[in-house]
Amino acid sequence: MAENKPVRIQDDLYHYVNGKWLETAVIPDDKPTVGGFADLDTGVEKLLMADFAAMAKGEKKIPDKYVAKAILLYKKGLDTKRRNEEGLKPVLPLLEKINSLQGIDDFNKNIKELVLGDYPLPVQFGVDTDMKNTKAHCFLLVGPSTILPDTTYYAEGNKQGAALLGIWSQMAQKLLTFSPLSPAEQEQYLKDTLAFDKKISGIVKSQEEWADYVKCYNPQKTEKVIAALAPLDLKGLLQGLYGKLPSKVIVYDPRFLKNFQSLYNADTFVLYKHWAYVKALISSCGYLSESLRTLGNTYRRTLIGLATDSSIEKQAFHNADDAFNEAVGLYYGKTYFGEEAKKDVVDMVKSIIEMYKKRMAKNHFLAKATKEKAILKLSTMVIKMGYPDKIQPLYDTLTVEEGTSFFAAMEEIDHEKSVYAFNKLFEPVDRTLWVMPGDMVNACYNPYSNDITFPSAILQAPFYSLKQSRSANLGGIGAVIGHEISHAFDNNGAQCDENGNLKNWWTKEDFKKFKALTKNMVKEFDGIAFAGSKVNGKLVVSENIADNGGMAVTLALVKELKEPNYQDYFENWARVWCQKAREQYQQLLLSVDVHSPTELRANMQPRNFPEWYATYKVTKKDQMYLAPSKRVTIW
């Protein structure tokens, strides 16, 4: 048998850098991935779980009243004795409330309670920033989610979708045996749930459609939406919430609204009610007994290939962390994030923005007026680094009662968060709010406030370290920073101005050229075989534009260093994308995730840049060669 030849970097950067680790890495039974982001996330998890355990036992001081609430919730999650004794009992009032609805008139009488109580509804409402006036909020609506991850799974002949729906149905059937329903009712409720879900799948957007998020902005006069949603009483809901009607409603999915009356009417109300009952039962299982939690996670485990659920300790921590995420993130940032690192990374962000301005000024396809608008957008971009300076008022409203069950505590928190969110409608937008907590291993660009957020938790090796070379840091956190900045100029972000308003600031000819380059980026990735499926270039185009821009601007910065080291740059670029994942999870992401698979992120983008070819003497004979005519550089 011939020996395996060592991987050449010119053929496969990703496996050259990460190959040895990939051979021995073991994915934990309760996680879908290991490596890169996942390893940092696990490190933060272990650190904070140890702190939570110590605080719960009184061995570590609780820093403030907000973390104190999180610890009380955490202790409720740990109380398996009570959870197991109670079984389904805590969720029975919710299920009985759904079952008691006699028809549409009865639903309408209770609509405010149902909306604020986060019951499964035939249409979802919310309050968010108005895309065309980002100083104000807007009232919005969107369709309910499907059981399967995407509408494409429902296509005739989709064997994966049929198999997953079978697993979900078996799980639901077993859970219904714990309910007060008779066997005949259990069978009917499940049958009706699947029928209602099928109706939903035919009228809501696919994930590919959602990826073009600018198309979510479809303002309609409130009276017109009220009429379209009849017999559901939107007017009564708005009057109950606000005592008056907003002038408009933003319809995120016009096709759904157009078809709503075929989904929800007097003839389909029973289907809806049974669907809501089953959905509520399943979504509650995570807060109930250990056996119900395990059973209720069957579908999720199958979907992403997990061998087992997370431990009760992990679940209790994550529920408390999610409920009080800003408070926990603030604690993490203040306790574990160094000011020296913060200053260094802020300086790096500023240098990347300045380089972006230089590159934008020299851009080859933009007119002068468009360049000036782009540079203005860069100049006004806000940097949010580490963790926020203060806790938002939401956390003063959240309560955790001593004697309540874990489920009841989570239910009350969800209710209080809903009330707080809906109450914002007629208030100005607070641009100081963070969209990510300090303990999250991630980063983001917010197109509606033109800001970039880098939580403390991502500012670790291999992304960033004071011990790494500047070139390596530019290939890690620098490229991530450049990526987030580039979202200001991706196919979606490019349609927002310096204040985050949805506004055309391009000349007609410039935007036409940009769209042509965007199509080239779609082509570069579209149809690549991966994990038994193929990449959808349209779904992932915005993130690929951002990766491309992030690499372009940071390579330009490496060139300006006194001692540029392109090898450090490219190898750390590949290192941060290192990941070993379960095949089921990879296939799911190919259907629903706007990011390309990490291996492709590592290997595809370098091919677009001359520095890659010069550093490793890559030629036509090498697998990581791309003909100049096919290389894409937008920013």
Positions annotated as catalytic residues are 484, 547
Give 421's contacts (C-beta < 8 A, 6+ positions apart): 126, 127
Three-class HEC string of 378-425: HHCCEEEEECCCCCCCHHHHCCCCCCCCHHHHHHHHHHHHHHHHHCCC
Q: How far apart are CA 241 and CA 137, in angstroms?
A: 15
Q: Are 226 and 234 a contacting pair, CB within 8 Å?
A: yes
Amino acid (1-letter code) at residue 487: H
Token couple for 603: 């290997």
What stretches of 298-405 show up as alpha helix (H) in DSSP? 298-304, 312-323, 325-336, 339-361, 368-379, 394-397
SS (H, E, C) 124-169: EEEEEEECCEEEEEEEEEECCCCCCCCHHHHCCCCHHHHHHHHHHH
Rounded Cα gap, residues 98 and 95, in angstroms: 5
Q: Per residue in 367-386, is it b (16+ CB within 10 Å) or e — as a string?
A: eeebbebbbebbeebeebbb
Angstrom distance (rounded) from CA 533 to CA 277: 35
Q: How far apart are CA 419 and CA 304, in angstroms?
A: 33
Q: What are phi and psi of 75, to 5 degrees?
A: -65, -35
Residue count of the chain, please give it: 635
CA distance 85 to 81: 6
Q: Where are the alpha helices (DSSP H) in 445-582?
A: 470-473, 479-486, 508-525, 541-560, 566-576
Q: Are 439 and 332 in contact (CB under 8 A)?
A: yes
3-state class (DSSP) for residue 529: strand
Which residue matches tokens 């096919």?
630
How deeply is 345 buried, as exposed, middle or buried, from its count of CB atoms within 10 A (0-12, 13-18, 19+)?
Answer: buried
The token pair at 106 is: 């009865």
Sheet holding 444-446, edge to edge: 382-386, 451-455, 444-446
User: Measured between alpha carbons, how far is 489 from 447 in angstroms, rounded to an integer?
Assistant: 9
Can you tell me the distance from the alpha carbon of 157 to that of 146, in angstroms, rounded to the nearest whole number?
Answer: 18
Tell me the residue type at 164: L
Q: Give the helix/strand (H/E) hosting 235.
A: helix 234-242
Query: CA-CA-CA-CA torsion for 56, 59, 65, 66, nearest 10 degrees?
Result: -50
